[in-house]
Structure 1
Amino acid sequence: MKALLNIAFVGLVQLAVIAALVFIPAGTLNYWQAWVLLAVFTMTAVIPSLYLQITSPAAMERRMRSGPIAEGRTAQKIVMAGLYASLAGASIVSALDHRYHWSHVPIAMCLVGAALVAAGLGTTVLVVKQNNYASTTVQVESDQQVISTGLYSHVRHPMYTANTLILTGLPLALGSYWGLAFLVPGILVLVSRIRDEEKLLVEELPGYRGYTQQVRHRLVPGMW
C-alpha cells in the first residue's frame, strides 16, 4: 500500500509540474489542449504506473529511479538533463505560442499530437512490462538477460522510440508548431545516449553483441 501511495503521489507531482509548465506561460486556464494533455498523461502514465506497481513491482522500482541525479556517469547526467530540458522547453514554448498566437494548429492536428503522446507513454508502460530490467538509468545488473521479443524484436531501444513519439506529439498536442523546434535537439540527445549505452551493453551484457546483429535498428524501424 505504501508503494502504491508513493506512485500516486509521484504521479500527482508530475501532473502538477506539467500543469505549471503550460498554464503559467499560457497565462490562462482556458487552454483545452493542455487539459487534454493532462488527461492523456493520467490515463496512459499515472494509472498504468499503479497497475505496474501491483503486477511488476521490481520493474516499477527500476523505472522510478530516473532523472539526471540518478545517473551514475557524468556524461549520462548531462544527456538526461538535455532530454528533460527539451521536454520542458517544448512545453513552455508551446504554451507561449498559445498565449501570443504565433502559429495556428488545426484541431485535428492537436488530436494527432495527443495520440502520439498517448502512444509514447503507452509504449513506455509496455516496455517495462516486457522487460523487467528496463530502467531509466544506464546500467547492467548481475542477473540481467538480453530481451529480444516483443517491441525489442523491432528496435533495440523501444523506450527511446517512445520518447521520440512524446517529443513529436507534445507541441502538436498543445497546439504549437514552434514547440517542434526542440524535437531535433531532443532526438540528438537520445542518439547520444543510445550510442553511449550500447558501448556499455556490448561490453558488460552477455549476448548483446549478437542481439545487435539480429535486430539492426536502434530507434526507428527501417531507418536507424
Structure 2
Amino acid sequence: MFVNNNSITPAVRIGIVRRFIQILVLFGILSAVLLFSSGHTDWLWAWVFIGIYIGSTVFNSIALLKRRPEIIAERSVTQIEHGWEKLIGGLWALLYFLAVPLMAGLDMRYEWSADIPLNVHIIGVICFSVGTALFSWALLENAFFTTASRIQKERGQTVCMSGPYQYIRHPGYLGAIIQSFAAPMLLGSFWALIPGFLSALLMIVRTKMEDKMLRQELIGYEAYAQRTKYRVFPGIW
C-alpha cells in the first residue's frame, strides 16, 4: 500500500480518482492527436514523447500518494480566481496539448520538416526529459503546487523555499517552458516550434502575473522574492 487508507478522507479519495481520470483522458487525447494527424501508429518519436509523459506521471503519482495524496486531489479541481489566468491558462493548454502535437503530426504526415538529423531528436529527448524532471521536482517539493494561481488559505499556504525553489521562484514553469521548446525537437518538427514558442511566451506572462499576485497576497513571499532574485531564468529574470 502507498498510504494508510485511514489517513485519506473520502473527499481526498474522490479527488484522487477524479485526477487519475483526467490524466487518462489527457493522455488519450494527446495520443490520438499525434497518431491520427500523422497517419502513423508506428511513429517512434511520438511514442517516446508519450512514454516520457507516462513515466513521469507514474513516478509523480507514486511519490505523491506516499507523501501528499491531498495534492493529487487538489489538482483535480481548478479554482480560478483571476480573469487573466482563465485566458492565459486556456490558450496555453490549447497551444501545448493540441496545437504542438497536431502541427508535429501533420508535419510527419506531409514531411514539411524533411531530413531532420537524429541529433535534433536526441537533443529534444534530453531537454524534454530535463524539463519534465524539473517540473516533477517542483511538484514534489512544494506542498501547495496546484493547477490554479491562488492563495490556499484553507490549507494554510506558506512559501516553499527548499529544493529548486532555493534558486528560482517558479521552477515548475521553467520546466514547462523547456518542454515547450523541446517537444517539437523531440518530435522532429520545426513547424511545431511556432505553437511551442507561443506556449512558452504565455507561460512567461503567467509567471509574471502569478509572481505579482503572490507578492501582494502571500505572507512571506516578498521577503523570499528579495532573497531569491530570479523568477524563472537564473541570472536573467
TM-score (norm: length of structure 2):
0.85
Structure 1 residue ranges (4+ consecutive) displaced by more than 4 angstroms after TM superposition: 1-8
Question: How far apart are residue 139 of structure 1 and its match?
Answer: 0.6
**Which amino acid is the alignment partner of residue 69 of structure 2?**
P
Gap change, CA 1:32 and 1:12, over 3 Å in 2: same
Gaps in structure 2 of 5+ consecutive residues? 6-12
* 2:93 paired with 1:93: no
**Which amino acid is the alignment partner of residue 132 of structure 2?**
L
- 2:172 alignment partner in structure 1: 159
Gap change, CA 1:10 and 1:115, over 3 Å in 2: farther
- In structure 1, how many angstroms separate the alpha carbons of the residues matched to 2:92 and 2:234? 21
Question: How far apart are residue 175 of structure 1 and its match?
Answer: 1.2
Question: How far apart are residue 184 of structure 1 and its match?
Answer: 2.8
* 2:222 paired with 1:196: no
- In structure 2, how many angstroms separate the alpha carbons of the residues matched to 1:97 and 1:65? 35
Gap change, CA 1:220 and 1:49, over 3 Å in 2: same
The range that moved more, 188-197 or 43-52, is 43-52
* Correspondence 1:175-194 to 2 at 5 A: 175-194=188-207
- In structure 1, how many angstroms separate the alpha carbons of the residues matched to 2:193 and 2:178? 12
- 2:8 alignment partner in structure 1: none
- 1:113 alignment partner in structure 2: 124
Question: How far apart are residue 7 of structure 1 and its match?
Answer: 4.7
CA-based RMSD of the aligned residues comes to 1.9
- In structure 1, how many angstroms separate the alpha carbons of the residues matched to 2:110 and 2:25? 28
Q: Which of 69, 80, 91 in structure 2 is aligned with 1:82?
A: 91
Question: How far apart are residue 119 of structure 1 and its match?
Answer: 2.3
- In structure 2, how many angstroms separate the alpha carbons of the residues matched to 1:115 and 1:60? 27
- In structure 2, how many angstroms separate the alpha carbons of the residues matched to 1:214 and 1:106? 43
* 2:138 paired with 1:127: yes
* 2:54 paired with 1:45: no
- 2:182 alignment partner in structure 1: 169
Gap change, CA 1:124 and 1:42, over 3 Å in 2: same
Secondary structure at the residue paired with 2:36?
Answer: helix
- 1:62 alignment partner in structure 2: 74
Question: How far apart are residue 62 of structure 1 and its match?
Answer: 2.6
- In structure 2, how many angstroms separate the alpha carbons of the residues matched to 1:5 and 1:206? 32
* Correspondence 1:207-222 to 2 at 5 A: 207-222=220-235
Question: How far apart are residue 8 of structure 1 and its match?
Answer: 4.2
- 2:81 alignment partner in structure 1: 72
Question: How far apart are residue 9 of structure 1 and its match?
Answer: 3.4
**Which amino acid is the alignment partner of residue 111 of structure 1?**
I
Question: How far apart are residue 5 of structure 1 and its match?
Answer: 5.0
- In structure 2, how many angstroms separate the alpha carbons of the residues matched to 1:7 and 1:136? 11
- In structure 1, how many angstroms separate the alpha carbons of the residues matched to 2:184 and 2:230? 26
- 1:12 alignment partner in structure 2: 24
**Which amino acid is the alignment partner of residue 162 of structure 2?**
T
**Which amino acid is the alignment partner of residue 60 of structure 2?**
P
Partners of 2:63 and 2:140 within 8 A in 1? no
Gap change, CA 1:9 and 1:115, over 3 Å in 2: farther
Gap change, CA 1:6 and 1:12, over 3 Å in 2: same
Gap change, CA 1:65 and 1:118, over 3 Å in 2: farther
Question: How far apart are residue 111 of structure 1 and its match?
Answer: 2.5
Partners of 1:63 and 1:128 within 8 A in 2? no
* 1:199-222 Cα distance to aligned partner (Å, 9 max, x none): 221111111111111111111112
